[in-house]
Structure 1
C-alpha cells in the first residue's frame, strides 16, 4: 500500500471499535499517535467515547467499508485489523479496502477457509490434528468447525461417525471435520517484526468458552462461543518449540501466500500429556487473548525490551520505529 502521500509526522492509528480496539488505541496514544475508533452501532460509539486516549469515534456503516477506508486515508490513518473487523466487514471488503492495513492482508483470504488454514499449517511443518472429508473416515471423536472468524460459534463435537453423520445432516455452512485431540488448550501470541528482523513469542492465553467451560452437569451439548480469556505462563521448556512453530509459520506464509508476516498473529493448540503440541488453528492478526495483559504488559515482552509491553504498545512501537527507518511499507499492505 502506497504511503507516499502520508505525513509521517502526524500518523493516526485506526481500528474497528470492538475486539482489541481499547488495547490497540491505548497503545497508539501512549506512543504519540492520533487515534480513531470506527463504530458500527451508535450504542457502541457511546461506550468508546468515554476514553480519553481515543481522539475520534466515528459512526460508520461497516457494510460499506470502502467509504470508511477512503475517509481514513484522508485522516492520514493506518488501519489495524482484528477478529471483529474480519467478521463484520468480511474478508472480501478487507482485501479491497484502500487504506494501509497492518500485516499480510492476503492472509485474510486463507483465514476465511478452514481447509486452506489447515493446509498452510501443514506446509509450515507444524503438527496438526487429522482432517476428515466425510463421517466414514472418522475413527474417533471429532470437532466440526465452521469457516470464518466466529469466535467458536457453531462448533460442535461428535463422539463417533454415526453421531457425526446425524449432526452434519443439519449443517449447511462450509465446515471442516477435525480430529479431537485430548489435552489442554494453549494459544500463543507472536509478533513478526520487520524492524528487528525477528519473530517474538509475546504471550499466551486460554479461552473461556460457553458452555464447555460452564457448569452444565452433562445436561446440554458443549458449545464453544468465546466469552473471555485467561492468562497463561507456559513451562519454559515448551518455549523453544513454540517459538520455532511461529518462525516456521511466518516462512510458510511468505512462500505460500506471497507476503511477509508483519505484526501480531496467533497459533492455537492443544498440549498433550507427553508435552507434544498439536496446532489446530491460526489467526493472522491480533487476537483477543492479548487483552489479558493490557496496561501492565506481557511477561515475555520483557525478554525483548527489558520492560513490560502489551500488544497494543508493541504495535505502536513497531509503527514508530518503522516510520523512523523508512520501513512502513514492510508493515502495511
Structure 2
C-alpha cells in the first residue's frame, strides 16, 4: 500500500508523515509543482501529472488522503464515485460542503453557533457572508445592513433573492479566531487534540494595519482569502471547551452520517466572555496543521516523538494494515 494525495494544501506534511511511518508516497497534480515534492522537499517517491489519475493510482495500490484542495478541485460528486481507496467517510462530504446540512450537524452537537439570516433584508447588525464549500475564505465579505449586503453581493453575482442559494449569512461574532485541529481514531475510539492555529487572511489582516480614518478615505472592502496560518497555544483553562466540542461533533456524526474519523477542524472564536462559538467545520485535514510538521505542544504532551497530523494519519493506516482492519477506515 502507498499513501497518495493531491499536490497542494497540506500534501508536504501528509507525505512526510507517511514516509516517517515507512510508506512509499505518491503526489499527483499539476506538472509545475512536481519539483516542490520531488526536489526542493523530497517527500514523494512518485509524482503523477493529472488532477486525478485513477488508473495509475490503482496500479500503484495507492490510498488517497483527502485535503480541502482535492475536494474543491474535483467536486463532491467525483470524489464520491472514485474507485481508489479513500481515507475517511465520504458521506461526510455533503454535510460539510452544504452549509444548511453543516448547521444541522453542529446543532445536533449542541455547539454555540452564530445566528443565520435567511433573508438579507432582516440584517440588523454585522454579518459575514460565506459561499458554500471549501474555498479558503475566498468570496467572504462583511455587511452591516441590507443595503450594504446587496451592494457587496454583486461581486458574487447575487442580485436578487432567487440567487441566494449558494451562500450563508451569519451573525458576525466578535472574538479571537481559534481553529483547533482534532484527530479521531476509529480504530481506538479516541479523540486527540493535535494543534491549534489562527489564519492570516488577505486583505482583512492588511487593512488592520491602516488607521481607521485612512481606511474610510480609501474606501477599502474586506476579503478573507487565507494566505497562511499562525500557531496558537490556547489558555489551558479553555482546553476542555474545545475538546468537549470535538467529542460532541464526533457523536453527532455517528448519528447523522455513520461517523467521522481522521482529522477535522472546528473553526470559531472565543468571545470576551470566554465562550467558544463555532461557525464552521472542516471534516478533513486543514492547512492550519502545516506549522506543526514536527508536532505541536499538544502532540508532544501525548507522544514522546514528533507527530504531525499528517503522520497521525499514517499511524492509523499502519495500525489498520497490521491489524487487518483497513476496510474499517477506507471507503
TM-score, with structure 1 as normaliser: 0.91
Q: How does 1:13-28 map to 2 (within 5 A)?
A: 13-28=3-18
For 1:332 and 1:286, the matched residues in 2 are separated by 16
- Conserved 8 A contact 1:70-1:98: no
What is the CA distance between 1:57 and its match in structure 2? 0.7
1:99 aligns to 2:89 (yes or no): no
Which residue of structure 2 aligns with residue 44 of structure 1? 33
SS in 2 for 1:306: coil
Pair 1:29-2:28 in alignment:
no
The aligned residue for residue 317 of structure 1 is 315
- Give the aligned partner of residue 161 of structure 2: none
Task: Note if contact 1:144-1:157 (Cα within 8 Å) is conserved in structure 2.
Answer: yes
Offset at residue 303 of structure 1 (A): 2.9
Q: Find the counterpart in structure 1 of residue 277 from structure 2.
A: 278
Deviation at 1:221, TM superposition (A): 0.8
Superposition map of 1:223-234 within 5 A: 223-234=223-234
User: How far is 1:306 from its partner?
Assistant: 3.2
Root-mean-square deviation over aligned CA pairs: 1.4
Preserved CA contact (<8 Å) 2:138 2:225: yes
Match in the other structure for 1:3: none
Match of 2:173 among 181, 201, 204: 181
Deviation at 1:189, TM superposition (A): 0.2
Query: Cα offset for 1:97?
Result: 0.7
For the pair 1:244 / 2:237, whether they are aligned, the reply is: no
CA distance in 2, matches of 1:29, 1:226: 28
Q: Do 2:127 and 2:142's aligned partners in 1 also have CA atoms closer than 8 Å? A: yes
Q: Are the aligned partners of 2:96 and 2:102 in contact in 1 as well (CA < 8 Å)?
A: yes
Secondary structure of 2:245's partner? helix
CA contact (8 A) 2:36 2:42 kept: no
Q: Distance in 2 between matches of 1:227 and 1:238?
A: 27
Structure 1: 5+ residue stretches without partners: 1-10
Instruction: Give the ranges of 4+ consecutive aligned residues of structure 1 lying more than 4 Å apart after TM superposition.
Output: none
C-alpha distance after superposition, 1:50-84 (max 9, x if no partner): 13331001111x2xx3xx23321221111100011
Aligned residues: 315
Equivalent residues in 2 for 1:151-190 (5 A)?
151-169=136-154, 171-172=156-157, 174-190=166-182
> How does 1:104-183 map onto structure 2 within 5 Å?
104-169=89-154, 171-172=156-157, 174-183=166-175
